[in-house]
Structure 1
Amino acid sequence: MSKVTPRCIIVRHGQTEWSKSGQYTGLTDIPLTPYGVEQMRRTGKCVFGNKFIDPNHITYIFTSPRQRARKTVDLILESLTEEQRSKIRIVVDNDLREWEYGDYEGLLTHEIVKLRKSRGLDQERPWNIWRDGCENGESTKQIGCRLSRVISRIQNLHRQQQKDGVPSDILVFAHGHALRYFASLWIKHGLEEKYEPSFDPPKPTYNDETVPNVTMEKYRYLVDNPNFLLDAGGMGVLSYAHHNIDEPALALAGTFIAPPEEESQHEPVVE
């Protein structure tokens, strides 16, 4: 078994015109700004140049199908050698798309609030996307369900890689709401419900024979704001306590890796 605890490193795409203005960008497929391109190019040089991420430990990259995410993948990996890049499997997964905002696509938050009030909504409490979802878009249960599927696949890969003694960083490139939601579900925030076979998408959301599909029994969804921040171009690190895949955790040290002698030696709690 590898002594290097697996990590899931989440990366929000670089700046776009709509991330800059604050417009809700779901299915709209817009490119990075010139600043966003250089932003992510610099980030790649920094994280690899300073050894925050060892490129030889990257086993998979999962990415949203939107061009702003896929371009960010290319820019982050640009400073690596061709041989290093060739060893990383890139999986485009439609389950990682941004929240489908429906009627709110392209709007600013105050415009959404005004629109909802004009429709007689939110009379007793203010709109909360994490609880209320989006009109003609996705509910919180819908996005929670599909992100739960991605988490299950990644944790299943980590479990096998750890068993095989393979150090594994899996990078996930996606969007602002989706990644904050993803991080919250990773550390088991929200509510849990039974997963029904009818929740499966009509066709596979990714195409890679090395990533096993996981039979879902339960999924999680949020009912309130997780109060996580992740600006355009930002990174976060998720991992596991006690080297145990059954104990997913938020790595507060970020991409910094403590030397082995500094790692916590606390034993897991046995109930």
Structure 2
Amino acid sequence: MPKAPTPRCIIVRHGQTEWSKSGQYTGSTDLPLTEYGVGQMKRTSECIFRNKFIDPNSITYIFTSPRTRARQTVDLILASLTQEQRERIRVVVDEDLREWEYGDYEGLLTSQIVELRKSRGLDRERPWNIWRDGCENGESTEQFGLRLSRAIARIQNLHRQHQAQGIASDIMVFAHGHALRYFAGLWLKHGEEKPCDGKKPVPATYQDETVPYVALKTYRHLVDNPSFLLDAGGIGVLSYAHHNIDEPALALAGAFVCPPEEESQHGATES
């Protein structure tokens, strides 16, 4: 039996919107893609599948933010696949993957946020850092980290199951600029770890009986910029070292697919 490749988590930022183009913070504002953004994602779809960067037959799940811009991007990425290929992929809409709730900063530029905070007497001792300080009347970094930690736990649990079954498993995650950079930081175990009660959120953040809920004993949140970039329409790849789900890693080769028999750098005897 051929060896299945190491599972991957492929993160995709939605295509261009008017506010991603202008640099305005876009959390709950439900913008569609621009005309350019639509064409951008159609081209990306054709490229990644035509060039075999991603084998559509290896995609087991797609998890997406509920926002229009993310769900529209999912549809455009899948558009170049056959109907049979699309029907094999389970698409799960997950509230945990929505963008940071920016509160008072929604729709503003970074420079405007800095001035707003200055006018309120904030940041006298050190500059504002969203990864540490969060957003006024929006989400703290702890709140954001908790829900993204939940999403990661579910994906890694599915990967563990698929690996045990010998199933090739690329799970794609469609979301937003801050959310995916934060997600990648947590995947690599950056930031601080804190205890949590493991209780399911009420209401549930997703509806899919094939995705087990994972009760967390701890979660992680960032305290500084993870120093990752992901432009609108960009794709990143997260995976595991040594074929081990307990060793999450960044796949520096990106979407380039290495045949399983050539994955010697991930071999169990390597360190």
Aligned to 1:121: 122
Tell me what 1:174 maps to.
175
Tell me the amino acid that sits aligned with residue 232 of structure 1.
Answer: A
User: Offset at 1:3?
Assistant: 3.2
Q: CA deviation at 1:197?
A: 4.3
Give the structure 2 partner of residue 244 of structure 1.
Answer: 244
Q: Could you say which residue in structure 2 is the equivalent of 1:255?
A: 255
The one-letter code matched in structure 1 to 2:243 is: H
Question: What is the rounded CA distance, in whole Å, between the counterparts of 2:26 and 2:262 in structure 1?
Answer: 44
Which residue does the alignment assign to 2:269?
A: 267
- TM-score, normalised by the number of residues in structure 2: 0.97
**Equivalent position of 2:204 in the other structure:** 204
Instruction: Give the TM-score of the pair, scaled to structure 1.
Output: 0.97
Aligned to 1:40: 41
1:218 aligns with 2:218: yes
Quote the residue 2:155 is aligned against. 154
Please state how far the C-alpha of 1:257 moved relative to its aligned partner: 1.5
CA distance in 2, matches of 1:263, 1:24: 42
Whether contact under 8 Å (2:4, 2:167) holds in the other structure is no
Partner SS, residue 10 of structure 1: strand
Letter in 1 for 2:212: P
Query: What residue in structure 2 maps to residue 233 of structure 1?
Result: 233
Letter matched to residue 59 of structure 2: I
Q: For 1:223 and 1:149, how far apart are their aligned partners in 2?
A: 18
- Alpha-carbon shift at residue 174 of structure 1 (Å): 0.1
Taking the aligned partners of 1:246 and 1:197, their CA distance within structure 2 comes to: 19
SS of alignment partner, residue 219 of structure 1: strand
Q: Which amino acid aligns with 2:269?
A: E
Gaps of 5+ in 2: none
Per the alignment, do residues 142 and 20 of structure 1 end up closer, same or farther by CA in structure 2, a change over 3 Å counting?
same
Identify unmatched segments of 5+ residues in structure 1. Answer: none
Structure 2: distance between partners of 1:224 and 1:232: 22
Q: Give the residue type in structure 2 aligned to 1:255.
A: A
Name the structure 1 match of 2:138. 137
Distance 2:270 2:50 in 1: 34
Post-superposition offset of 1:268? 5.1
How far residue 201 of structure 1 moved from its aligned partner, in angstroms, is 2.1
The runs of at least 4 aligned residues of structure 1 exceeding 4 Å deviation read none
Residue 81 of structure 2 aligns to a residue whose secondary structure is coil
Q: Give the SS at the match of 1:91.
A: strand
Structure-2 separation of matches of 1:103 and 1:266: 49
Match of 1:105 in 2: 106
* Counterpart residue type for residue 249 of structure 1: A
Q: Distance in 1 between matches of 2:20 and 2:175?
A: 13
Q: In 1, Cα distance between the equivalents of 2:269 and 2:122? A: 50
Q: What is the identity percentage for the equivalent residue pairs of Structure 1 and Structure 2?
A: 74
Q: Which residue number in structure 2 is paired with residue 30 of structure 1?
A: 31
Aligned length: 268
Any idea what the Cα deviations from partners look like across 1:162-191, whole Å, max 9, x if unmatched?
Answer: 001100000000000000000000010001
Structure 1 residues 197 and 159 mapped into 2: Cα distance closer, same or farther (>3 Å)?
closer
- Paired position in structure 2 for 1:78: 79
Deviation at 1:215, TM superposition (A): 1.1
| Residues 170/142 of structure 1: CA separation in 2 closer, same or farther (3 Å cut) | same
Q: Secondary structure at the match of 2:220?
A: strand
Amino acid across the alignment from 1:9 = I
SS at match of 1:143: helix
Looking at structure 1, the residues matched to 120 and 157 of structure 2 have their Cα atoms a distance apart, in angstroms, of 44
Distance verdict in 2 for CA 1:197–1:215, change over 3 Å: closer
Q: How does 1:181-192 map to 2 (within 5 A)?
A: 181-192=182-193
What is the deviation of 1:195? 1.1
CA positional deviation for 1:266: 6.3
Give the 3 Å change call, closer, same or farther, for CA 123–65 of structure 1 in structure 2.
same
Per-residue deviation, 1:263: 3.2
Q: Tell me which residue corresponds to 1:8.
A: 9
Q: 1:219-261, CA deviations, whole angstroms, 9 ceiling, x for partnerless residues?
A: 0000000000000000000000000000000000000022333
Distance 1:202 1:154 in 2: 20
